[in-house]
Structure 1
């Protein structure tokens, strides 16, 4: 019989590169690396050679960009999912899909164990593990940073370990941010960002776009079309979801849109600071919200905002496959039947400026909303409405007055 196999979630970065020889040395595993391509682009270059050079038996690179956009990002767009009012959940959306693919490869390879390199302080350890449990409760999980045999406590330790095992890789500890990239966003942590009192080094930090101050001095218009909540075209050109994201990333990045500097509350109980670039996603959510503002009735729109907040929390916590997220998704889908129309924006130095929205399902009536009295609305009708609408407040105030008068008379 051969050695037992372990499936390693592999990015090709320093952590997962060091994990390959560590798994072989510590557990005598055959290491099967799995890299899930969710739009990392240039980060995937040279992975096959690096994995095998580091001791992996095999490397899978799975292109799931369209599945990621259609089945994870799009449901989030329909939900207007935003964690703590700012974070558009770029990393969070990707983790359940990565977990799903790791399980699929584990089944294919006959492996009983999945390994990840997420640290014991981060959110990803939670997201990976609870999604693996939801899909394959029988599989074991090795979280390297939580294992007693893992003695490396810094990137310097990992580089030394790799060199000891004949792996010489060009990782620069002193000038590298910790980044996570996919088609939806890129996140940045580390270096000066670890001190919330310091301004980010914008000249070295940004990858997808430019800082607003250095964006073009001329504004640019962009239109986005939706059909039943699904974005279908940018500037009149029909596109699939992944190409919509790519094109809006290009336009938003050019004009400094979608840069967020946030101190967020992690699942594990600590605050962390990160900078997120989500240029296309920021435009897309702004457009979707604008259509919903025009089309959804007051009660549905208000309740959907409550649902969106809870939905974002669940996704952030890694609970993609939980029953509540699926139930909330069903409600969200039911609100999208009429979210069809075109939204026009002007992009200028980090700003997304409304420039007109149209929909065949609009609930806005110009004749009803205007100051001119029409057949549907008589200004005098408001008098009775206001009387009834404020009746409970008026009764309370009247009774309070009576009580105050009674108390004054008793004091005499």
Structure 2
């Protein structure tokens, strides 16, 4: 029986029928463009390049231009609202931060991209669903894991897994085919409405790395030294629903906070993330909205939930992160933990007011409708002492009466 997993260009050539459709994931980058060229050379007559729009940097018109130049039919699927509501929102409630270092991002986007591509591949009757992740990218196991758990019927995988092609070779061959693109990139990037991430290239060496400031979009400090901003974020049942009292869809909440928080230079992360066999690679992120929303959520949660419940939740949060990170978003354990997290989120309602300043932020108000916090400690102490003393006072009164 033929393996459903494609791991090299040779395997793809051997397993594909030129007369049947093939679906590829398409970002408009060098790897995905070269894959389209490879499929054209193999004689595949019907190639569908799928781009799932979740707020990335590359424009739709640019993607259409490249895909059409390589003979593919492009499908640009707008999934921004779905990404925010069904993937980012659960991650906020789960406090999805990798080992306490950085909020997860591609961990959330890959299962959505896989799901959208599988839906289209089934409609088209595609024989294969191919992507371009390589050995040093965690996307490899996340996409393959999602495609497997979704039960895709055709072959799937990445030809780059066992058959890498150098960047220079890809550029030369694409230029020879009449497509000249992305020659100036010095890192590999991944972006969506939640995160902009950089890795590889000039960032390969954790012991010596520097990100040119112009690569940052949201978190480039532009506020004057004396500037400050006050912002209030409101949550209802675990979901961010308003900024400064104005109701907004989650996509707009994230967009506004990325800009408002980022101008103070907040929301940058760097960290090492493990590969399949334990080796680690450096990744750089900017996530200003995530920085504020995750912190706000924890403050509101702390005001609403019992401390012991939060302690147990903190353990399960890392179980949630591990399962999603390892490509098991659609797996039973992640879904089971999600049920617990959703139960906690149902009680997490309130708002946090922040004062943003250059290089930092401070809370100014934490407000929930059914708080566990005290607003007047002395009054509480008086009530607590009076309540504790009441039985003794009644006993003393009875003894005196006797």
TM-score, length-scaled by structure 2:
0.87
TM-superposition CA deviations, 1:378-404 (whole Å, max 9, x none): 7999xxxxxxxxxxxxxxxxxxxxxxx
Aligned match of 1:373: 381
**Structure-1 residue corresponding to 2:115:** 100
Query: Could you list the runs of 4 or more consecutive aligned residues of structure 1 that deviate by over 6 angstroms after TM superposition?
Result: 378-381
Residue 114 of structure 1 corresponds to 129
After TM superposition, list the pairs within 5 Å mapping 1:378-397 onto structure 2: none
CA–CA separation in structure 2 for the residues paired with 1:207 and 1:296: 36
Q: Verify the 8 A CA contact 1:123 1:268 in the aligned structure 2.
A: no
The structural deviation recorded for 1:250 is 1.0
Which position in structure 2 is the counterpart of 1:35?
51
**1:399 aligned residue:** none
**1:319 offset after TM fit, Å?**
1.1
Cα distance in 1, alignment partners of residues 173 and 68 from structure 2? 17
Instruction: Give the deviation of 1:97 after TM superposition.
Output: 0.3
CA distance in 2, matches of 1:268, 1:278: 28
Count of matched residue pairs: 372
2:154 counterpart of 1:139: yes
Indicate whether 1:178 and 2:188 are aligned: yes
Q: Distance in 2 between matches of 1:186 and 1:201?
A: 13
1:84 positional shift: 1.5
Distance 1:333 1:142 in 2: 33
Q: Are the counterparts in 1 of residues 21 and 44 from structure 2 also a CA contact under 8 Å?
A: no
| 1:154 maps to 2:166 | yes
The aligned residue for residue 312 of structure 2 is 303
CA 1:313–1:216 in structure 2 vs 1: closer, same or farther (change >3 Å)? farther
Given candidates 68, 71, 76, the residue that maps to 1:55 is 71
**Matches of 1:273 and 1:323, distance apart in 2:** 30
**For the Cα contact (< 8 Å) 2:149–2:328, is it kept in 1?**
no
CA offsets, 1:17-60, max 9 Å, x none?
Answer: 1111202223635211000001114443321121010121x110
- The superposition leaves residues 129-178 of structure 1 with CA deviations (integer Å, 9 ceiling, x where unpaired) of 1101111242211411135xx4x532111001212323223422xx5221
How many Å separate the matches in 2 of 1:338 and 1:77? 14
Q: 2:288 aligns with which of 279, 286, 290?
A: 279
The DSSP-based 3-state class of the residue aligned with 2:371 is coil
Q: What 5-or-longer segments of structure 2 have no aligned partner?
A: 1-16, 390-402
Which residue pairs with 1:13 in the alignment?
Answer: 29
Offset of residue 337 of structure 1: 2.2
**How far apart, CA to CA, are the structure 1 residues paired with 2:242 and 2:340?**
25
Aligned counterparts, 1:201-220, within 5 A: 201-211=211-221, 215-217=223-225, 218-220=227-229
Instruction: Tell me the secondary structure at the aligned position of residue 126 of structure 1.
Output: helix
Q: 2:373: which partner in 1?
A: 364
The answer to whether the 8 Å contact 1:84/1:264 transfers is no
SS of 1:45's partner is helix
Report what 1:189 is aligned to: 199
How far the C-alpha of 1:215 sits from its partner, in A, is 4.1
Per-residue displacement from partner, 1:104-153 (whole Å, max 9, x unpaired)? 11011110210001112211010111101111242211411135xx4x53
- SS of the residue corresponding to residue 375 of structure 1 reads helix
Query: What root-mean-square deviation, in Å, do the aligned CA atoms of Structure 1 and Structure 2 show?
Result: 2.1
8 A Cα contact 2:300 2:348, kept in partner: yes
| Equivalent position SS for 2:92 | helix
CA contact (8 A) 1:121 1:268 kept: no
Question: Could you say which residue in structure 1 is the equivalent of 2:90?
Answer: 75
For 1:125 and 1:69, how far apart are their aligned partners in 2? 23
- In the alignment, which of 39, 55, 78 is matched to residue 23 of structure 1? 39
Structure 1 counterpart of 2:356: 347
1:294: Cα distance to partner? Answer: 1.1
2:180 to 162, 168, 190: 168
Give the aligned partner of residue 266 of structure 1. 275
Cα 1:252–1:4 change in 2 (3 A) is same
Partners of 1:318 and 1:109 lie apart in 2 by 25
| Contact 1:228/1:337 (8 A) holds in 2 | yes
| Corresponding position of 1:391 | none
- Secondary structure of the residue aligned to 2:98 is coil
Q: Deviations over 1:3-25 (max 9, x none)?
A: 11110000011111111120222
TM-superposition CA deviations, 1:183-236 (whole Å, max 9, x none)? 00000112332222225234233122215xx64321211100111111110011
1:372 to 1:73, Cα distance in 2 relative to 1, 3 A: closer
Q: TM-score, normalised by structure 1?
A: 0.85
Residue 121 of structure 1 aligns to a residue whose secondary structure is: coil
